[in-house]
Structure 1
Amino acid sequence: MDWLQVILLSIVQGVTEFLPVSSSAHLILVSVLTDWDDQGLAFDVALHIGSLSAVVLYFRHELMRMAVSWSGSLVGRGVDGDARLAWWVVLATIPVCLVGLAFHDVIAVSMRSPLIIAFGLIVFGLLLAYADLRHRGTRDEYQLTLGDALLIGLAQALALIPGTSRSGITITAALLLGMSREGAARFSFLLSIPVIVLAGGLEIVGLIGKSHEVDWAAVLIGAILSGISAYLCIHYFLIFIKRVGMQPFVVYRLLLGGWLLWLFW
């Protein structure tokens, strides 16, 4: 890997992991539109570690409270708002795990074409536009119900379709359920933690027993750049949507999807 590839892939991963524009779509597009060699599983793991570190660091105070309260709920100390939120994150992660395990081969082989990405960007972008334009919700992540968590979890499973965007579809579902933009985004970011852990874990399993050279300098720089860009993305995205909303991301999705249709149809 050359350093331009390392820098570009790291920043793309860090920024698009949390924006509602589909990180998988952008990483696939980089490989389609360039002649770069595949970056390898070790580098992919590094990018996931960077993104994970960013979201954990950003929500460290909330995560600490959630962990303490959730642990207490397991030993009969009652369920407060933090414990309930932790349970909702766990439950909302189950659907994407089940669907991912059941259809992993189909998704990995048959659904990673530019045209599928284009349709995913456009269709789910229009749904995000509708959810954002009609939203009147004021609820935050602590006011979710069990039903809300399960519905958002089911929506998250759709993110396995390239072009959908995990953050995009979970924010869309949350807005439709009456959450505020900030509450929807914050819950989506919390949901990303177990998903990134599981995705990174699968990649680590894929590395076990395989002999290959690892460019440790690229791995280290990739993790750092991915983490920094992801942290900044989370911070400024929460500020941006409070003032502006989701429509600029919708426009971007539609333009990118239309360009892909023109290019590959």
Structure 2
Amino acid sequence: MTVLKKYWFLYISMFRASFIADLEYRVNFLTRIVTDIFWYIAQIMTFEVLFMHTQLIGSWNLAQMRVFLGVVFVVDALYMIILSENLDQFSEKVRKGDLDLLLAKPANSQFMISLQKASTPAIGNLAIATSWFIYSMTQLPGFEWIRLFWLIVLIPTGLVALYSMRFTMAATAVIFARSENLQFIWYQIYRLGMRPDSIYVPWLKWALLTALPVGVIASVPAKALLEPASYGLFAWAVVLSVVLIYGTNKFWQFALKNYSSASS
């Protein structure tokens, strides 16, 4: 508990420092929010147009798809706030030698490389995403609001799956120094998770819930809200998150053994 408290206070300090730094550039703070609003609009309009030509996509109607998009937006906004800026700049930190400085600090190196900088402008994104999510649920007839309690477990598992895959891809920069092509592959895989898993053929759906678990990011939490409870699937999401965190830590230790520092 003492260790957890130590890292919690360390993260709060880093978050506060990030917020102060971001406020120094207020125009950039606002433009980043506006830019992501256009991304939200593009995602919404894609499905709104598709549903002008069909009643169902996969097994969900338009109202259900709006809820799914709400889950996508919320998870993506949380990821952007907590992790995105650190993992997107991973390769740059390795090349410039910033990783050497982080490894010298008396704290867990994976923690530091993953959470050193928060993207505080994305707090605005979270507010917008949450508003859309609440609106989408009000459009569902007879929605059981008690189902929201599933999100307390399933959204964190989705974030863990997202973090684990992104961190593993980014950490390859420690071994190869330049791994931009692998980062490109990651974004293509991530896009698969931004669509409901029910639209994919069975073998691909299985892969997106196991080997490449981007389906856990939004599809599983959305299923908890929209479909009869699948306790086996939910339990799998929890078990998978533990396995993924353990796996990322082992991969990080392996990568560090092959790291020769930027100065060598």
Which range, TM-score by smaller chain? 0.3 to 0.5
Which one has the largest radius of gyration?
2
**Normalising to structure 2: TM-score of the pair?**
0.32
